[in-house]
A and B are shown apart, each in its own frame.
Chain A
Amino acid sequence: MFAKTNPASATEAADLALAGQNVKGRSLWEDAFRRLRANKAAMVSVTLLVLITLSAIIIPMFHPHPFDEIYWDYIQAPPDIEAGFLFGTDTNGRDLFVRSLYGIRVSLMVGIVATSVSLLIGVTYGAISGYIGGRTDNIMMRIVDIMYSMPFMFFVIMLMVVFGRHIYLIFAALGAVEWLTMARIVRGQALSIKNREFVEAARASGVSNFNIIRRHIVPNALGPVIVYVTLTIPQVILIESFLSFLGLGVQEPMTSLGVLISEGAQQMESAPWTLLFPATILAAILFCFNFIGDGLRDALDPRDR
C-alpha cells in the first residue's frame, strides 16, 4: 500500500510512525473519498441532492394539498404563500409545488431503477465478454457495435407506442438502451484484470469461472463503473423527461418533471411560473449528478496518483 501513496502522505505516515502511533494503510477507496470530500462542487451537489430527495419523499406526506386535487378558486394562480401555493397552481388549479415534488420522485426513481437495470445487464455482459475473450468476445462486442449505430431514442419511442405508457416499461426500456457503454467499460477492465496474478492464482486453486468473475473481475472493475453510473442517472432522467415532454411518458394525473415542463411551456406567456419552477428543478438535479460524476471521476482516476 505504501508504495502507492504519494510523497506527501508518505512523510505524513513517517511522522505518525515516529510519533510511535500505529500506522494504518489507506485503501484506494479511503483515498478517493478524501479527494471527493475536497471537491467543493461535488460536495455542494451531494448536499443539495440529498435535500431535494428528502423533500420529495417527506414533504408530500404532510403537505395539506394532494397532488391531484383541483382548487377551483385558484386556477392558474401565481405563487402565493398565504394561500399555501408556494409555486402557484397549474391550468387545472392543482398545486404546482406538490406536483413538482411528485415529478422529482418519478424522475429520481426512473433514474435509479433504469440505471440499475443497465448496470446489471452491462456489467454481466461486459465481464463475460472480457473474461472469456477470443471469438466470443469478438462476437459479443460486434453486437454492441451494431447496437451503437442504431437510433435508440426512436426505438424507445416505438416501445412506448407499442406497449403503452407504463412506468415499468420506461424503466426497462431505458435500462435496455443505456447498458452499451457500461458493457464496453467493464469489458476493457476485465481484459486487463484477467491476466493479473491473483486471477491466475484463483484459477490455479480451482475457483470456477463464475466465481472468478463474481469475486475478482467485477469488484476490481468497480471504480470506472461507479463513475459511469453517476453519469448515466442524469442521462436517464433526461430521456424520461424528453419522452414525457413529447407526451409519451407517464400518464395523468401522475406527473413527472418532463410533463410539468411541457405543460408549462404551453402556458408560459400567461403563467411563466408553471415553466420556470419545474425547469429549474430539473436543471438543478442534472447539474448535481454531473458535478458528482465529475468529482468521482477525478477522485477515482488512477492516472491522478
Chain B
Amino acid sequence: MLGFTLKRLLGAIPTLFIIVTLSFFLIRTAPGGPFDKERSVPPEVAANLNAVYHLDEPLWMQYGRYLGDVIQGDFGPSFQYRDFTVTELIFRGFPVSLTLGGSAIFLALIIGTTLGTLAALKQNSKLDYAVMATAMTGITIPNFVMAPLLTLVFGVYLRWLPVGGWEQGWDQVVLPVIALALPQIAYIARLTRGSMIEVLRSNFVRTARAKGIPERIMITRHALKAGILPVVSYLGPASAAVITGSVVIEQIFSIPGIGRYFVQGALNRDYTLVMGVVIFYGSLIILFNLLVDLVYGLLDPKVRMQ
C-alpha cells in the first residue's frame, strides 16, 4: 500500500515536470508582453519593469529560475494584480472553487447513484427510461448552456434564486452547484445503472435474497458495495471535468474562484497567473487520481496494489 502510493507519487513527477515545462515555453513564445496594455511607458521604466520580473534574462535562465521557484511552491508575482503573488491569488480563490466543486461532486454522487440504482432495480420500466433520457440530456447539453437556462428559469422568471454572486447567502450556491453537477449526475447514473444491473444478477445477491435479508439492506450493504466500483474509478475524470467546468460556471455566476482568475489571466496575458493555475490544477488532478486509485483498492478486494 505504502509502496504503491510512493511509486505513484514518483510517477507523477515527470508528468508535473512536463506540465511546467510545456506551459512555461508555450506562454513565453507569446507575442506581446504583460505590459502591453499599459499606456506607453518611458523606455527606462519598461527596462526597469523587465528587470524586476527578470524578463531581460535569457529564456533558459528564466526557465531554471521558474522551475526552482515552483518546486518551493512559489509561482512568482502576478503581472496583472501587482500587489499579489500568484500563490496568494490561488489560495484566495481556492476555498471558493473547492466549495463549489466539492459540493457538485458530492451532489452528483448522491443523486447519481440513487437514480442509477433505482433505474437498475426497475430495469425497462418507465422510471428507467425517464432516468436514462434525463441522463442523455444531462450528458449532451453542456453546462455553459445549462447554467444560463437554469438562471433564466429559476432566477429571472420564477425569481426563486439569485442569478449570481457568492458570499451574500447560501442560496447563491444552489444554481452554480446544480449546473456544475448535472453532467456528472448523468454520467454517474448511467454507470451505476449499468454495473448494478450486472451485480443484481450475481450469485451473492441471490444468496442474500434467499437468506431473507430485507431488500433495502441487501442493496445498501451488499449490492451497492460492488456496484459502485465503476463510479469510484470515474471520480478521477469527473474531478477533472468539474474543475474545467467550474471555470465557465464561475464566469457565468461571477464567483470569485480560481477559474475566474484563470480566464481573466488568459485574456490579459498574465503569464505567471495562467501558468500557476495550470500547474496547480494539474497537480490537483494527479493527486485526486491517486486518491481514487487508493480508495478503489480498498473497496475492491480483487485489486492487489503493487
A contacts, CB < 8 Å to B: 146, 149-151, 153-155, 157-164, 234, 238, 241-242, 245-248, 258, 261-262, 264-265, 268-269, 272, 275, 279, 282-283, 286-287, 290
Contacts and interface: CB of A to CB of B under 8 A. Distances in A.
Interface in B128-159: 136, 139-142, 144-145, 147-149, 151-152, 156
B23 interface: yes
A151 B284 CA distance: 10
A238 B142 CA distance: 7
B24 to A, nearest CB: 10
A150 to B, nearest CB: 6
Q: 7 closest pairs, A vs B, by CB?
A: A265-B148, A162-B30, A153-B244, A154-B278, A279-B145, A245-B144, A286-B140
8 contacts: A149-B286, A154-B277, A158-B23, A158-B26, A246-B248, A246-B251, A258-B144, A286-B140
Nearest to B275: A158
A159 B262 CA distance: 14
B18 interface: yes
B187 to A, nearest CB: 13
B142 A241 contact: yes
Interface stretch (B66-74, B196-204, B226-234, B263-271): B263-271
Contacts of A283: 140-141, 145
B33 interface: no
A261 B281 contact: no
B26 A146 contact: no
A164 B148 contact: no
Given A241-B142, A246-B263, A261-B148, A150 B27 contact: no
B261 to A, nearest CB: 12
Contacts of A155: 22-23, 26, 278
Nearest to B268: A161
A290 B251 contact: no
Contacts, number: 111
A159 B23 CA distance: 9
Contact of B145 (A161, A164, A261): A261
A261 B152 CA distance: 13
Main secondary structure of the interface of A (DSSP, over half): helix
B282 A150 contact: yes
Given A159-B26, A246-B263, A287-B140, A150 B15 contact: yes
A234 B145 CA distance: 14
A119 to B, nearest CB: 22
A262 B136 CA distance: 23
B120 interface: no
Contact of A242 (B30, B248, B286): B248
Contacts of B104: none
A282 B15 contact: no
Given A164-B31, A238-B142, A248-B266, A149 B285 contact: yes
Contacts of B278: 151, 154-155, 158
Given A161-B267, A262-B144, 18 more contacts: A151-B19, A159-B26, A162-B30, A164-B31, A242-B142, A246-B247, A258-B144, A265-B147, A265-B252, A268-B151, A269-B152, A272-B152, A275-B149, A275-B152, A283-B141, A287-B136, A290-B136, A290-B140
Nearest to B269: A161
A116 to B, nearest CB: 22
Contacts of A164: 31
Nearest to B23: A158
A55 to B, nearest CB: 21
Nearest to B265: A161
Contact of B243 (A151, A159, A268): A151
A174 to B, nearest CB: 14
B289 interface: yes
Interface in B239-253: 240, 243-244, 247-248, 251-252
Contacts of B247: 153, 246
A156 B159 CA distance: 37
Contacts of A242: 142, 144, 248
A241 B289 CA distance: 27
B189 to A, nearest CB: 16
A8 B247 CA distance: 53
Contacts of B289: 149
B220 interface: no
B166 to A, nearest CB: 18
Given A238-B142, A268-B151, A282-B145, A150 B248 contact: no
A235 B152 CA distance: 25
Contacts of A241: 142, 144
A206 to B, nearest CB: 41
A234 B142 CA distance: 11
Contacts of A246: 247-248, 251, 263, 266
B175 to A, nearest CB: 13
Contacts of B140: 234, 283, 286-287, 290
Contacts of A154: 244, 262, 277-278, 281-282
